[in-house]
Amino acid sequence: MTQLKLPFANSICEECRHLRKENALLKDENTRLKEQVKLLQAKEASSLYATAASASTVKEESSVYITAKSVQPDTNSHTQLFRNLFVGRDDVYAEHWCGKDGKSNYSPAKTHDWNKHAVDPKTKKKICSESCQLLPLTDKVIA
């Protein structure tokens, strides 16, 4: 293999070595985080099972049975887990839609005032006016 005798070849090789090291570190971190997620999910499942098992006892006084189905999972912890795994923009989120012709796509979620939409004369499609505002990503949207 012949070596390049360009003035920037050494810097490119060093940059490549640096990126490979960073890639290896990120792969290790990714593996470690996946293991942590598995541990958290197992811990949450065992906690939910323990809660359901303790709640499924019979109340002697009122003869009411509490079943495991009545125990709701903690949506706040699910929301936090989702937010930690999928970090992104909080100021906007995507919304899925299906058209009358069967096509589906995603668009930014926003408030609509259909009466204030303008119509593009060339395409005859509605254009959002300035009154449309993007909706922020909230815990309620995730749940």
pLDDT in tens, the chain (143 residues): 555 556 667 788 888 899 999 999 999 999 999 988 888 888 777 766 665 555 444 344 444 444 444 445 566 788 888 888 888 888 888 899 898 899 999 988 888 776 777 788 888 887 777 778 889 988 888 87
What is the pTM for the complete model shown?
Answer: 0.41
Give the domain ranges of the chain. Answer: 1-73, 89-143
Question: Which spans in the chain are helix H?
Answer: 9-55, 75-85, 139-142
Upper half-sphere CA count for residue 49 (Cβ side, 13 Å): 6
d(CA 58, CA 113): 53
